[in-house]
Amino acid sequence: MAIYMTSDASAFNRIRAWLNKRCGMHYPEKKQELLLQRLMHVCETQEFSNLFELANALENPDLRELHSQVIDAASTNHTYFFREPQVLDYFRDFILPTLNKEDVRIWSAAASTGDEAYTIAMIATEAKGMEWARNNLSILGTDINKQVIAHAELAIYRRTAIEHTADDIVKRYFESVGDGQYRVNKQIRNLCTFRNMNLKTAPYPFIRLFDVVFCRNVLYYFDEVHQQEIIENIYDATQDGGWLLTSVTTTLRHLKTRWINVGAGIYRKDINHVY
């Protein structure tokens, strides 16, 4: 699919600018084809003839449902359980053993359909036991996309979402609901709460700080300015000595940050918090 008319290209750039202003999303050239496909799908479902009509409609502040649909389309990300095991293994082997306290708070800052938050809950339960998790652990999953938050709360997934999950984990923590679908069991669901949130909007609405924050496979949606703001806002929402886990392919080296790099995709807040 290509943008072959000047008016289409102009409208596409207007929509990109709207997404950047509204929620900080930035689509590099290599991902613009994907965004175009998603926007054309919105045009079809909303019966717009072209991108020009869609761009004009987005300027109407009263069309909130359309605004949400465009944001949801632009932010949808493919995800699955136990994604990027290198980061998850570090969390299990090196971070979890240090969390020997009551009220451990973990934030999945781009939760999508909940796969990551529930994965974290399963790893913690396997490592420390269900009784510990039930009494001490709370996991918050947030995402700008309202549709995926609703999916996360429902916690029903197709087999493809758990194809990287060990069979014994599937048996312990999933229940078959028929038609090739599985639901996360109630004990794990009870450890996780999901909320709609735009990472660009600060200050963040948290009263208590987090011990660990997962912010994976989302920073590439933002330009460098917004990346800087987001990781520093996350820093302020994290306990001294707390952790930030990004994708193994995401580096913060190009950003001015207070986070201390521990390894690929692993960062820590100075435990002494002295600057």
Q: pLDDT tens digits, residue range 14-61?
A: 998 888 887 667 776 777 887 888 898 889 889 998 899 999 999 998
Burial 156-167 (b: 16+ CB within 10 A, else e): bbeeebbeebee
**Nearest to residue 213, comparing CAs of 115, 112, 139?**
139
Q: Is the pLDDT of residue 120 over 90?
A: yes
What pLDDT, in 10s, does the model give residues 184-201?
Answer: 999 999 999 999 999 988
Q: Structure tokens of 155?
A: 């916690």
- Assess whether 203 and 122 both reside in one domain: yes
C-alpha span between 28 and 221 (Å, rounded)? 8
Q: Evaluate whether residue 174 is within a structural domain.
A: no
- Assess whether 43 and 140 both reside in one domain: no
Q: Evaluate whether residue 179 is within a structural domain.
A: no
Task: Please report the pLDDT score of residue 109 as a whole number.
Answer: 96
Choose from 103-107, 219-223, 255-259, 269-273 the range with maximum mean pLDDT. 103-107
What is the chain's mean pLDDT, rounded?
A: 89
- Assess whether 113 and 49 both reside in one domain: no
Mean pLDDT of 161-178: 96
Task: Please report the pLDDT score of residue 248 as a whole number.
Answer: 79
Task: Please report the pLDDT score of residue 222 as a whole number.
Answer: 82
C-alpha span between 73 and 38 (Å, rounded)? 6
- Assess whether 65 and 107 both reside in one domain: no
Q: Domain span at residue 134?
A: 85-156+185-268
Task: Please report the pLDDT score of residue 275 as a whole number.
Answer: 38
Q: Is the pLDDT of residue 2 over 80?
A: no
DSSP 211: E
- Assess whether 32 and 136 both reside in one domain: no
- Assess whether 218 and 194 both reside in one domain: yes
pLDDT band at 131 (very low <50, low <70, confident <90, very high): very high
Q: Evaluate whether residue 167 is within a structural domain.
A: no
What pLDDT, in 10s, does the model give residues 64-87?
Answer: 889 878 877 777 666 889 999 999
C-alpha span between 260 and 275 (Å, rounded)? 12
- Assess whether 143 and 56 both reside in one domain: no
Q: Is the pLDDT of residue 230 over 50?
A: yes
Q: Is the pLDDT of residue 273 over 60?
A: no
**CATH at 25:** 1.10.155
Q: Who wins on pLDDT, 272 or 207?
A: 207
pLDDT band at 274 (very low <50, low <70, confident <90, very high): very low
- Assess whether 63 and 92 both reside in one domain: no
How far lies 119's CA from each of 110, 177, 247, in Å? Answer: 13, 19, 15
- Assess whether 101 and 234 both reside in one domain: yes
Q: What percent of the chain has pLDDT over 70?
A: 94
- Assess whether 20 and 152 both reside in one domain: no
C-alpha span between 89 and 94 (Å, rounded)? 8
- Assess whether 126 and 216 both reside in one domain: yes
Q: Of the residues 57, 75, 93, which one is the last residue of a structural domain?
A: 75
Q: Of the ranges 88-102, 187-201, 207-221, which one carries the lowest mean pLDDT score?
A: 207-221
Q: Of the residues 33, 49, 75, which one is the last residue of a structural domain?
A: 75
CA 26: distance to chain centroid?
Answer: 15
Q: What percent of the chain has pLDDT over 90?
A: 61
How far lies 196's CA from each of 38, 152, 162, 166, in Å? Answer: 21, 11, 24, 30
DSSP 259: P
Q: Evaluate whether residue 176 is within a structural domain.
A: no
Which residues, in sequence order, are bridge partners of residue 25? Answer: 222
Q: Evaluate whether residue 273 is within a structural domain.
A: no
**CATH at 230:** 3.40.50.150
Task: Please report the pLDDT score of residue 7 as a whole number.
Answer: 53
Q: Of the residues 16, 41, 75, which one is the last residue of a structural domain?
A: 75
**Nearest to residue 155, comparing CAs of 174, 171, 172?**
174
| Secondary structure of 140-191 in HEC code, one letter for each residue | EEEECCHHHHHHHHHCEEEHHHHCCCCHHHHHHHEEEEECCEEEECHHHHCC
- Assess whether 258 and 190 both reside in one domain: yes
Contact 247, 265 (CB under 8 A): yes
Q: How many domains does the chain have?
A: 2
Q: Structure tokens of 153?
A: 């709360």
Q: Evaluate whether residue 173 is within a structural domain.
A: no
